[in-house]
Amino acid sequence: MDFHHHNNHHSSPSSSNSSSTATVTTTQNPTSDDPMHSWWESVSKARSRIHALAAILPSSSAEALSALADSDRPALSLLSSPAAYSAVSSSLQGSASDPLCHWLYDTFLSSDPHLRLLVLSFLPLLSALYLSRIHHHFDPSSLAGFEAVLLAIYAAETKSRAGKPLLVTIPDLSQPSIYHAPLRKPSAAVDRPSSVGVLSPPLEPHVAMKSTKRATIVGTALHCYYAQISQMPSWSKLEFCRFAAGWAGQDCPCRSELDHRDETAIANGHGAIGSSEIEIEEVAEEMGNLNLQIQKSDFDLDSNGGNGEGAHKGDRIPLPWEILQPVLRILGHCLLGPLNPQEVKDAASSAVRSLYARASHDLVPQAILATRSLIQLDNRTREAAKAAAAVAAAAANAATTASANSSSNSNTPTKPKKPEILLVSK
């Protein structure tokens, strides 16, 4: 089975379906609107994909996968199975003949959204292996499987965007807030349009992984992962955080300098707002002294250096902004998402500090500002959690003390009262 043949086969239905649209609209399938039929079709498709996966994995994992296929929601059961994730991770190779890459490719091309989520959950591992091997000049033919999966995800996102960029609306801070504006605006007031920022320019279709477009394709795939990150299992997020720390590859003492500054600011009584103003002034002064221009810039330090602490994975690699931007957005969710386990938050905290150290050494302004902001948010969130825990502990101690006092008072023996003697006159 050839990936390029699948690419051509996947693109052909778009043209062939146009001629059969009238037939489909005039002759409707009576079961097309039946929710039970749609559910059963989705379950059958997911079970067939799970059985296909069990056939290419070691026999030790086949029985567990077969049990997952028998559930009512097989795709989501496989998505939430750490054993299945571990089995796929240990067998993934990335070559054109790798059956796992073929399985990921074919599974993503299915129309079932849960199966696509399953493929996206492996994206941290796939992208980490691919970027590391490309950076170390592996034979491109040994990475054709990875590239086919990445190109399939990129093609789907290109089609969904329909040639439009990803925009973000930035409010005009010179205008009053909607919560503070008067009910009647002065006649002289003129509404200014809000600024619009471009998160991602329009995507161009690509059928091959070119070196000049590699960062855009991988970054777009990471954006697709971020768009579904709330449904990703915790171990997938944890893997991504550890890989991101390895990609940064910077564990010098400067990675914790902002933590020391925050502690000093709190000790001096500046508080959160004061420390923010001080750090903003420091960044502005630093940028002015270095006379840097905010532009697209790669982290181009060599690959020599440590790979991080024991919890870090992957190798130090170049990190252009097309890749670093979705990486920071994913780390922001892992760091601040209220439903994320503490292990994921701690791994994201370590990764952000490593990226801050890397950006400080490489002098990339937008990366410095983004990582500083995430570190400040992390510090304040942890301080608020500590304060809340201290208040809860104090309340618990007070309740325990009050309960002990009441129980001791109830158990204290009291002197028996003397019987009352009533004198009755005769």
pLDDT higher than 80, residue 82:
yes
Q: Is 321 helix (H, G, I), strand (E, B) or coil?
A: helix
- Residue 235's closest CA among 338, 337, 347? 347
Who's near 133: CB < 8 A, 6+ residues apart? 94, 142, 143
**CA gap 234, 288 in Å, rounded:** 41
HSE, CB side, 13 Å, CA atoms: give it for residue 152: 29
- Residue 240: is its pLDDT beyond 70? yes
Predicted local confidence at residue 215, as pLDDT: 94
CB 86 within 8 A of CB 58: no
Q: What is the mean pLDDT of residues 321-334?
A: 95
- Rounded CA separation 130/150 (Å): 10
pLDDT at 287 over 70: no
- Please name which of 230, 282, 285 lies closest in space to residue 258, comparing C-alpha atoms: 282
pLDDT of the residue at 158: 94
pLDDT value of residue 221 = 96
Asked if residue 354 lies in contact with residue 249, where contact means CB atoms within 8 angstroms, the answer is yes
Rounded Cα distance, 14 and 32, in Å: 20
Structure tokens at 239: 């893997």
Q: Assign 42 to helix, strand or coil.
A: helix
**Is the model's pLDDT at 224 over the cut of 90?**
yes
Out of 86-100, 132-146, 168-182, least confident range: 168-182
- Between 296 and 106, name the one with better pLDDT: 106
pLDDT bracket for residue 297 (50, 70, 90): very low
Query: 28-50 burial, b for 16+ CB within 10 Å, e for fewer?
Result: eeeeeeeeeeeeeebbebbbebb
What does the pLDDT read at residue 237? Answer: 95
Closest CA to 331 of 300, 364, 375: 375
Instruction: Return the number of other C-beta atoms located less than 10 Å from residue 51's C-beta.
Output: 14
Pairing type for strands 166-170 and 195-200 reads: antiparallel
Q: How confident is the model at residue 300 (pLDDT cuts 50, 70, 90)?
A: very low
pLDDT at 22: 35
Please give the angle made by the CA atoms of 343, 346 and 349, to the nearest 5 degrees: 150
Given a cut of 80, is residue 166 above it in pLDDT? yes
pLDDT of 352: 94
Query: CA of 18: how far to CAs of 10, 12, 52, 152, in Å?
Result: 15, 11, 31, 22
- Which range (179-188, 349-358, 375-384) has the least confidence? 179-188
Asked if residue 196 has pLDDT above 80, the reply is yes
Who wins on pLDDT, 307 or 217? 217
Q: Is the pLDDT of residue 197 over 70?
A: yes
Q: pTM of the prediction?
A: 0.74
Residue range 362-371: mean pLDDT, rounded: 90
Helix (H, G, I), strand (E, B) or coil at 94: coil
Please give the pLDDT value at position 243: 94
Segment 2-25 shows an average pLDDT of 42
Please give the residue that has the higher pLDDT: either 85 or 176: 85
* 3-state secondary structure at position 320: coil
Token output for 120? 């996206």
H-type alpha helices, 228-315: 234-248, 257-267, 271-290
Cβ neighbours, 10 Å, residue 385: 11
The residues pairing with 177 across neighbouring beta strands, listed in sequence order, are none
**Cα–Cα distance, 269 to 333 (Å, whole number):** 30
Axis crossing angle, helix 144-161 with helix 214-227, rounded to the nearest 10: 70
pLDDT at residue 232 is higher than 90 = yes
In the prediction, which pLDDT does 194 show?
65
**Which residues partner with 196 through β-bridges?**
169
Tell whether the model's pLDDT for residue 378 goes beyond 70: yes
Euclidean distance between CA atoms 21 and 416, whole angstroms: 99
The DSSP result for 15-36, as a single string, is HHHHHTHHHHHHS--TTTT-HH
**Which spans in 92-213 are helix H?**
99-108, 113-120, 123-135, 144-161
pLDDT of residue 107: 94
3-state secondary structure of 293: coil
CA atoms within 13 A on the CB side of 305: 18
Provide the Cα torsion 363, 365, 366, 367; round to 10°.
30
- Asked if the model's pLDDT at residue 167 lies above 60, the reply is yes
Say which DSSP state 340 is in.
S
pLDDT band at 337 (very low <50, low <70, confident <90, very high): very high
% the chain with pLDDT above 90: 35
pLDDT, averaged across the chain: 77
pLDDT of 289 > 50? The answer is no
Question: How much is the average pLDDT of 141-167?
Answer: 92
The confidence band for 168, taking pLDDT boundaries of 50, 70 and 90, is: confident
pLDDT of 6 higher than 50: no
Does residue 249 or residue 297 have the better pLDDT? 249
